[in-house]
Chain A
Amino acid sequence: MVWEVPISLVLPLYFLAAFVGIALIIKLSKDKTKKISNLRFYVQILAVIVIFMGLIVGPFGQPRWAPLGVSPRDRLIGADFLGNQMPDGIPFPVLACYYPNGRTVTCPIWQLQAYIFPFWNYPRGYDVTYSTLGLEKLGIVVGSLVVAALVFGRSYCGWLCPFGLFQDVLTRVRKVSKLKHRTFSESTNKKLSQSRYIIIAVFLILSVIFGAYYIFGTEIIPGTVAAGPGGTEAGIVSYINEPFCLVCPMRPLCSLVQSGIGTMNYSYISKIVYGPFGIIGGYISSINLIVLTIVIILSLVYRRVWCRICPLGALTGLFSTFTPFKQIALTKLEKDNQKCTRCGVCKRACPTQATDVYTKKGGDVTESKCILCARCVEICPYEDALKIKFAGKTLVNSRNWLE
């Protein structure tokens, strides 16, 4: 017999542990230039626990370490909460996969690719029957992203994204190894930043191409007709489904974590890399692994290297740092030009090499590259020169730590 710790006990204890941990870090961190970074690191870990281990939403009442099944979808707890309106889960702007297994949040990039055909309602396979229209699902994804981005900007990337944590861990490994980091030239960094939007365009176009059979009645790429009963096994997305997910470096990590904690069937990792060029994997493709390897190597040299080209970060940035969203975004990085001495420490400390914080004369210096990690704020030695504000109220401001 297996019995579970009741949620009524888990939730308060979790919040207590989280609160005490945060309080302790704030209180005990002696290095004033690391206080926010340490706090952020702790919050990132808490976020990973919530996202992957489902501490908040499950897997209560679900069997764990279950034997093989036919799909990792069998832990789709989102369906229990959201019914068949959004059984895939509510989009949340962190790279945590479509299968943050059985959780109620899902990577919006996956959803955008899957729901790109707004006027055609299709089954998703494995009997995920939507009650919602295609356009409705797309509206929920975009609407959720807009709300999330308007409220907290790209702080999800800086504070919650599991892949951000992974890169930060690699950065710490580099520091422990006493290796020096390198920086991209400004023009390269700008091009990388711009490439994010090209990546978004490419994967959305590819989604249409892969789903051509269902839109135009003919395949553009052979082998993209879905299998299963009534052609519904994978619905419109077929075996070469969600093109971005085939290259996403987070996918292997998600699979590893989820398999490790028993919320995902490990056979979906063991079945990897088969089919032409190994791109048609049971869950992970060889491209995923290659991209992850490249990112790992680069992360030991550059800080937050993936964040510079991350399409999800680009979308969150789009809805928070570009007009008209920029005008009303609630979370902002602000600079007081009169207090800034242009020492450039903020520019050097920024993990994504955002430059507006240094080059702009003052006011709102949030840009699409800024992940609101507050590293510039904590490292700035001039009182109130930099601030992160939420709804006009200062959340954190730079302090004179030299004294």
Chain B
Amino acid sequence: MSCYIVLVDALIVHNKTCVLLLVVLLVVLSFLSLGTIEAQQDVTHFSSEDIFEIPAVNGIIGFSVNGTYAEAVLEKDTWVFSDLSLSGSRYSGTLRFSAKDCNVSIRSFRSNALSYSVDGVGEQIMNLGLNLSRTSHSSEWYVINQNSEFFAAGRDWQLLTDNTVVIDGIVGTLTVVHYNYGYQVDNRPFYMQHSIIILTGVAVVVTVTCAVIIKIKTKPRLSMWSGKYQ
């Protein structure tokens, strides 16, 4: 918005060449800020009417929105959706989901979160395909219902070593979120664990020292001959 106001302002204040160049620059900057370009590929479209049954465990998976996937395969009672992307989202990724004795309707899916509604007391097993090279910690996960009630790890849900979440016996609309804030047991040396405060301290000392030196060097000196400040 402000870019357009600048342009209007430029139109008023500057000459045409300047305006033209500013337009080009702003277009370039806008393009850069967008940062993403979409490429086409073969996908299968599905609608909220489509269902994905898991007969062996009496589970049904559906979606409350339309979307696309590259491939959907039932493997060991788990549906694996490759390059799954839901309508309204530009994220696509692989989701593994299994539902036992319940009907599930997936509402949203993104890199670190899945939201779905459950009908029937059953079990849901999901893997969001996190790009993690480690086993996540249960405190990195949240399972929340539509009333923003948090469910306890170990009691209401379990985290497996492959970052799969198993939720048992909860009904309603659930959101499963993973926050990757670098949670880890920090065994690094003290100076690495507290590097930012150390760097800040060093920056303060260096800045003050430099400022004092500059102050002394640029202080006006009284000339011996003329009696005036140089």
Contacts and interface: CB of A to CB of B under 8 A. Distances in A.
Contacts of B8: 176
Interface string B106-141: 011111110100000000000000000000000110
A313 interface: no
Nearest to A53: B33
A229 B91 CA distance: 29
A139 interface: yes
B193 A85 contact: yes
A5 B37 CA distance: 7
B160 interface: no
A340 B9 CA distance: 32
Contacts of B92: 1-2
Interface in B205-221: 207-208, 210-212, 214-215, 217-218
Interface string B186-230: 100000011111001101100110111011011000000000000
A131 B187 CA distance: 11
Contacts of A55: 29, 32-33, 35
A165 interface: yes
B196 A150 contact: no
B88 A169 contact: no
Contacts of B203: 143-144, 147
A147 B200 contact: yes
Nearest to A129: B183
Given A84-B182, A169-B2, A140 B200 contact: yes
A328 B212 contact: yes
Contacts of A76: 181
A89 to B, nearest CB: 11
Chain B interface size band reads: 35 or more
Contacts of A172: 5, 9
Interface stretch (B18-26, B44-52, B163-171): B18-26
Interface in B6-62: 6, 8-9, 12-15, 17-18, 21-22, 25, 28-29, 32-33, 35-39, 41
Chain A interface size band reads: 35 or more
A121 interface: no
Interface in A1-53: 1-5, 10, 13-14, 17, 20-21, 24-25, 28-31, 34, 38, 41-42, 45-46, 48-49, 53
B174 to A, nearest CB: 11
A373 to B, nearest CB: 16
A344 interface: no
A260 to B, nearest CB: 8
B12 A13 contact: no
A53 B32 CA distance: 9
Interface in A74-88: 74, 76, 79-80, 82-87
A5 B39 CA distance: 12
A2 B90 contact: yes
A41 B113 contact: no
Interface of A: 1-5, 10, 13-14, 17, 20-21, 24-25, 28-31, 34, 38, 41-42, 45-46, 48-49, 53, 55, 59-60, 62-71, 73-74, 76, 79-80, 82-87, 90, 126-129, 131-132, 136, 139-140, 143-144, 146-147, 150-151, 165-166, 169, 172-173, 176, 227-229, 233, 261, 327-330, 391-392
Interface of B: 2-3, 5-6, 8-9, 12-15, 17-18, 21-22, 25, 28-29, 32-33, 35-39, 41, 83, 86, 88-92, 107-113, 115, 139-140, 142, 144, 148, 150, 152, 175, 177, 179-183, 186, 193-197, 200-201, 203-204, 207-208, 210-212, 214-215, 217-218
